[in-house]
Amino acid sequence: MLEPPIQFTFSEDFTKEYQDLPPNIQSGVLEALKKFKENPRAKSLRLHRLSAIKPPVWKIDVFADRSWQISMRIQGSECALLLVATHKVMDRTY
């Protein structure tokens, strides 16, 4: 699935959503992406595939309470970051 080194690309939606987040959520997002880059299978990230979506969309948790998530498409070593949003918004989106 993932081949190191992992490279991120940012969709317009992701960039816009990120810029509108409060600073503490932005910090959490950066920490989650750093952790993902170091170890995509870190249990705290809860990397999981959304089964009904084609091509596949994957999600990780930003915080342990699962309140915020990041969605992405993964191909080789590239992760296209799609959206950063609350768990509730993610459930409605996907």
How far is Cα 17 from Cα 77, in angstroms, rounded to an integer? 24
* Cβ 16 vs Cβ 41: under 8 Å: no
> What does the pLDDT read at residue 54?
85
Q: What is the pLDDT of residues 12-29, one digit of tens each?
A: 999 999 999 999 999 999
What would the pLDDT profile of 30-56 be if each residue is shown by its tens digit?
999 999 999 999 999 999 998 777 889
Strand 78-86 to strand 7-10: parallel, antiparallel, or no bridges (unpaired)?
Answer: parallel
Residue 44 contacts residue 75 (beta carbons within 8 Å): no
Q: What is the pLDDT of residue 3?
A: 65
Kindly list the strands in the beta sheet with 78-86, ordered across the sheet, starting from the edge strand earlier in the chain: 7-10, 78-86, 68-75, 57-61, 48-50
